[in-house]
Structure 1
Amino acid sequence: MSALRPRTNILDKPLSRGKNEVSQGIFALLFSEIVQYCQSRSYTVPDLQTKLHDMGQDVGARIIDLYFVRERNSKRETKLTQMLLFIKTTLWKNLFGKEAEKLEHANDDERTYYIIEKESIVNTFISVPKDKGSLNCASFVAGIVEAVLTHCGFPCKVSAHWHKGTTYMVKFEDYVITRDKQLEDK
């Protein structure tokens, strides 16, 4: 009699092994449906972007719990720079199969950082009508990033902009910077 192996499902697999399990075409179809769903409930481009951002926040909250509980035994980053590097590298790789191109700190505001992605996959398969020319569907990803940072103790606002491709502007609450400086001094 052969030994029975326990069944494993996708939720039991480590995230790092789950690469390339969803094809780009399926992702594009699903994301297109998300955009159409939000669009059918919106009257303006900013309203549509807000709805995409809110949906991204729901996804981000679930991703961060899944990642830190499963992969890191609930150990989260405590320093701002390390958390931003986690987003730029690990989170981006798990979500999009590659790292974000750049992480920059604003010269004129110590609370502002930029995550730059030349070709955002969420904008790749979306054709924007002329009347919605300013639409940036990367607001969905901005919502994910905002939820991840906020749920990890780095409250901020994240918005997506057309600059050098897609640029995510991350603006932290004042006390996050103060706390981070205190941690560095220890």
Structure 2
Amino acid sequence: MTDRKHKPSAVERPLSKGKAEININSFALLFSEMIQYCQNRVGSVPELQNKLSELGQHVGVRILELLFIRERNLKREIKLLQILLFIKSNVWKTLFGKEADKLEHANDDERTYYIIEKESLVNRFISVPKDKGSLNCASFTAGIVEAILSGSNFPCKVTAHWHKGTTFMIKFEDSVIARDKILEQR
């Protein structure tokens, strides 16, 4: 008998380690098909962006569980800034192979934060028709972020906007800010 070492399957390996296992061309094809599928079921750009966000939320719930089970040993963040940094770094690396470009806090609203991505992968291969000029397919990514934050007990609304590339505006509920202030006092 030979002693063989157990080689972990793709499901058992940590998400942050190893090479990306998806071909960018395959991703572009699948994502464009998903957009076409959604576009055939809605009547306006806002409806299409909402549909993409809903699909992203389904992905975000699953990503949340994978990251916290496999990468963090079930340890969840309880402070607002820590969960945002986790998304900017770990989540972005898992999904896109690199960190998001920037995390900013709004000057005029304590409930609003921005994650800025100069060149969003989900918009890279999309050509938007003139009649849908305001379409930002990063609404899909916004849905992922919203599901991760809400699933981590940081209820919010996340939207994608064209500004400095793609900006994800995260608007937290008042309860999140109040809880974070209490945690800071401890």
TM-score (norm: length of structure 1): 0.97
The alpha carbon displacement at 1:16 in A equals: 1.3
1:62 is paired with a residue of what secondary structure?
Answer: helix
Name the structure 1 match of 2:89: 89
Q: Does the CA contact (< 8 Å) of 2:16 and 2:90 recur in 1?
A: no
Superposed CA deviations along residues 101-147 of structure 1, whole A, max 9, x for unmatched, are 11110011000000001100100000111111111000000000000
Structure 1 segment 75-154 matched on structure 2, within 5 A: 75-154=75-154
| Structure-2 separation of matches of 1:38 and 1:145 | 20
Counterpart residue number, 1:32: 32
* Residue 152 (structure 1) shift: 0.4
- Partner secondary structure for residue 75 of structure 2: coil
Give me the CA root mean square deviation.
1.1
Residues 19 and 94 of structure 1 are in contact (CA less than 8 Å); yes or no, is this contact kept in structure 2? no
**For 1:41 and 1:18, how far apart are their aligned partners in 2?**
38
Name stretches of at least 5 consecutive residues in structure 2 with no aligned partner: none
Deviation at 1:8, TM superposition (A): 3.2
Counterpart of 2:85, as a letter, is L
Whether 1:41 and 2:41 are equivalent positions in the alignment is yes
**1:50–1:32: structure 2 CA closer, same or farther, 3 Å change rule?**
same
Structure 2: which amino acid aligns with 1:10? A
More displaced, 7-16 or 29-38?
7-16
- Whether the aligned pair in 1 keeps the contact of 2:103 and 2:114 (CA below 8 Å) is yes
Shift of 1:5: 4.5
For residue 70 of structure 1, what is the amino acid of its counterpart? R
The residue type equivalent to 1:132 in the other structure is K
Listed one character per residue, the Cα deviations across residues 123-180 of structure 1 (whole Å, up to 9, x for unaligned) are 0000111111111000000000000000001000000000110000000000100100
Check whether the contact 1:56–1:144 (CA below 8 A) recurs between aligned residues.
yes
Please give the secondary structure, in 2, of the residue aligned with 1:178. Answer: helix
Give the TM-score normalised by structure 2: 0.97
Number of residue pairs aligned between Structure 1 and Structure 2? 186
- What secondary structure, in the 3-state scheme, does the structure 2 residue paired with 1:98 have? coil
Question: Structure 2 counterpart of 1:24, which letter?
Answer: I
Secondary structure, aligned partner of 2:115: strand
Give the corresponding residue for 2:184.
184
| Cα distance in 2 for residues equivalent to 1:164 and 1:71 | 31
- Conserved 8 A contact 2:104-2:115: yes
Q: Is the Cα contact below 8 Å between 1:118 and 1:166 reproduced in 2?
A: yes
Q: Is the 8 A contact 2:145 2:158 kept in 1?
A: yes
Q: Determine the C-alpha separation between the residues in 2 that align with 1:164 and 1:20.
A: 27
Q: Deviations over 1:11-57 (max 9, x none)?
A: 11110124321121111111111111111111111111111000000
CA distance in 2 between counterparts of 1:131 and 1:35 reads 15
Say which is worse superposed, 66-75 or 135-144, in terms of deviation.
66-75
Q: Which residue of 2 aligns with 1:174?
A: 174
